[in-house]
Amino acid sequence: MDNLINCARCGSDACYVEEVNQDIKTYFCYGCGFQSNSLMTQNSEFLTQQSEVLPELYKDLFFEDPSGMIWMPSAVNLPQQGMIFAMGNNASEWTWAAVKAIPVTEEEKEKYPIPGKEGQYYEWRMDMTTLQNYPERGYIDALSYIGVLPE
């Protein structure tokens, strides 16, 4: 069963819970943009694997809730809409960054080849000139900006 609960990290009532199976639940908070799941606990194999690929900032922002679950910033990447990721120097100096996707034009398509596919090009690209920063609690606004949620 899916439902909204209070976020164990920021306290907003916009934390979306999804039950994957009897033992595993995933959590995605639209209030603060952080996510977690039942497997993300201190020293767990899951967390160790994640830590190997996560940017330093994401690790800096790890948050352990009272139940022992670790929360981390989400990273959204939707090829035809845009992306949202945490950006900054450290846990006390960061913002969300939202970037819009735009269609690749005929003139520029040569610059965006699909690796391993001769003669094929991406139809969308991230337009870094659209980058906008949002505060932590502005995560919903960032989602609206790239068109995931209505304005």
Q: Does 73 bind Zn ion (CB under 5 A)?
A: no
Positions of E strands within 68-142? 70-73, 76-78, 82-90, 93-103, 124-134
Work out which of 32, 39, 98, 143 binds Zn ion, going by CB under 5 A.
32
Residue among 27, 31, 29, 6 nearest 138 (CA): 31
DSSP 110: G
Q: Give the nearest distance from C-beta 3 to Zn ion in angstroms.
A: 15
**9 vs 100, which CB is nearer to Zn ion?**
9
HSE-up of residue 139 (Cα within 13 Å, Cβ side): 22
Residue count at the site for Zn ion (CB under 5 A)?
6
**25 vs 125, which CB is nearer to Zn ion?**
25
Q: Does 29 bind Zn ion (CB under 5 A)?
A: yes
The answer to whether 102 and 124 are in contact (CB under 8 A) is yes
Q: Does 8 bind Zn ion (CB under 5 A)?
A: no
Q: Does 10 bind Zn ion (CB under 5 A)?
A: yes
Q: Which residues bind Zn ion (CB under 5 A)?
A: 7, 9-10, 29, 31-32
